Amino acid sequence: MNSKNAVILVALSSLLSMAPALAEKTEKFRVISTDFFDRKHLDIKDPQTKVNIVAEVDRLVRGLFFDKSKVNGIWLRSREELARTAAQAKSTTVLKPIINFYLSKLGTSHCLFTTDEDESFYYLESLFGSLQKKGNAKEYGVPGFVTGGTGFPEKTVRYVLAGSAADKSGIEVGDEITSVNGKTEYTYKDCLAAAGTELAITYKRQGLDKTARLKPKQMDHFKAYLKAMEDSLRTLTIEVEIGGKKREVTLTYIHMYSGGPQVRETLESLLNDKGASDALILDLRDGYGGASLTDIDCLFRNPANYPVFERRYASGAKYAQNLCFTRPVVALINSGSRSGKELLAYTLKKTGRATLVGECTAGYVVAGSFQKIDQHCALYIACADCTIDGKRLEGVGVEPDIKIPNESLHEKGYQKQLMVAIKEALRQVVKSETVDKSTREGSQ
């Protein structure tokens, strides 16, 4: 696959911020006093560097953004104002929201100027490198928590990767990170700078001050998300009454934090290991996109076409490969479910293969292209419009079958959605077995 095709493959995939979210954050610079432009952080020492960055953003938008009417109208009317405003910025910290404000005028997701102060910079670089099969993936000390976005304040934890250093330290959704290694004005880059050593994190949880010490594991970011999917695997055993008799129902829980290479194989492997499960809870909340519809093939396959394959070894060990999962599925979604994962949610709902629980997805469904500007910054730009089944999900999203909003924006709301999904999965197991039993009795 060449690099151009890889970018288009990601079309139905990745990620980031839609205009309303960007506008919410970047509108603020309009009313910020002039001292905002004097902040000292990652100074741009060479004025020409700033000019080059803005010029490259302009070139990429004009060359790659899919809607030429917006380029020729909105963007061309704004580019000179962008250049004048950006000229006042003395650091990337200030330049970033200025550029993103003007990108937000395009009114489309997958338009983001990101820097090495952001988690998205490292993840996008890693994902696109994986898709384009570029070697020498860069490894960093991944802390495992992500803050801000989709209604969460900038320093509030939106999600935690299962099995990560943050997860093991007890950090939860809704925690407000107040300092990293003593710095109250920190960025994601400060977390990475402590690679190989402990991070001292202070945070507030429902008004209480707390501390955590964690040692991030050196990993490529995409692989860290894939590993978190593996580490999210849980088995829940719950006793229920079916047909007047009590029995234990086994539920499998898997959190798909992103799409991308190896995700389909990982899902198949995890479900194969849990072949006796009565139902699956597939968590599509938060993280990134990057998913392809083929990622969930095993949920749709006909067992007659994929018979169980078994290997037996001289030692007596045996391994059975089952590439089909035919039992009930419940999928969790929220406003952090985006791009490729919205395609998964759409097809699960349309086909009736799964019940969707949670909140409407992001509505970030266009093609994205990741373009490095220099070693410190990059532009993620919408390069193609997309539809599925003739429908455009951009700005619309996918609605859940059972709506459970997390209005509190903390762990309790996150877990409430999961508990409702568990309850729904149990209901479906009972229903399917009751119907199956009545069908068998009727045929006798």
Which domains are delineated in the chain?
19-107 (no CATH), 139-219 (2.30.42.10), 222-366+387-443 (3.90.226.10)
Give 326-375 pLDDT, tens digit per residue: 999 999 999 999 999 999 999 999 999 999 999 999 999 999 999 999 99
**CA 278/CA 45 separation, integer angstroms:** 60
Q: How confident is the model at residue 46 (pLDDT cuts 50, 70, 90)?
A: low
Q: Crossing angle, helix 92-104 and helix 47-64, to 10 degrees?
A: 20
254: left (phi over 0), alpha (psi -120 to 50) or beta: beta
What integer is the mean pLDDT of 33-42? 41
> Is the predicted pLDDT of residue 137 greater than 80, yes or no?
no
User: Residue 318: CA atoms inside 13 Å, Cβ hemisphere, count?
Assistant: 7
> Amino acid identity of 279?
A
Average model confidence (pLDDT) across the chain? 87
C-alpha distances in angstroms, 119 versus 63, 88, 177, 281, 442? 26, 26, 15, 27, 57
**CA 284/CA 356 separation, integer angstroms:** 10
> Is the predicted pLDDT of residue 438 greater than 80, yes or no?
no
- Among 8-12, 44-48, 165-169, 305-309, the least confident range: 8-12
> Amino acid identity of 73?
G
Is residue 232 within 8 A of residue 224, CB to CB? The reply is: no
Which residue, 32, 345, 291, 288, is CA-closest to 149? Answer: 288
Structure tokens at 179: 């300092």
Output the pLDDT for position 47: 67
Give 199-255 pLDDT, tens digit per residue: 999 999 989 999 999 999 889 999 999 999 999 999 999 999 888 889 999 999 999
CA angle 381, 145, 299 (to 5 degrees): 70
What integer is the mean pLDDT of 49-77? 95
- Alpha-carbon torsion angle 70, 74, 78, 82, nearest 10: -50
Percent of the chain with pLDDT over 70: 86
| H or E element in which residue 165 lies | helix 165-169
> Is the predicted pLDDT of residue 187 greater than 50, yes or no?
yes
Residue 300 has φ and ψ, to the nearest 5°, of -115, -10
Q: Cβ neighbours of residue 51 under 8 Å, at least 6 residues apart?
A: 83, 87
Output the pLDDT for position 318: 84
Per DSSP, helices labelled H in 10-163 are 19-26, 47-64, 68-70, 76-86, 92-104, 119-131
Output the pLDDT for position 261: 87
Output the pLDDT for position 274: 73
Structure tokens at 213: 């010490």
From the number of C-beta atoms within 10 Å of its C-beta (0-12, 13-18, 19+), residue 282 rates as buried
Predicted TM-score (pTM) of this structure: 0.87
Is residue 19 within 8 A of residue 107, CB to CB? The reply is: yes
Q: How confident is the model at residue 444 (pLDDT cuts 50, 70, 90)?
A: very low
Q: Cβ neighbours of residue 281 under 8 Å, at least 6 residues apart?
A: 251, 252, 253, 254, 329, 330, 331, 332, 418, 421, 422, 425
Q: How confident is the model at residue 321 (pLDDT cuts 50, 70, 90)?
A: confident
Q: How confident is the model at residue 268 (pLDDT cuts 50, 70, 90)?
A: very high
Output the pLDDT for position 136: 66
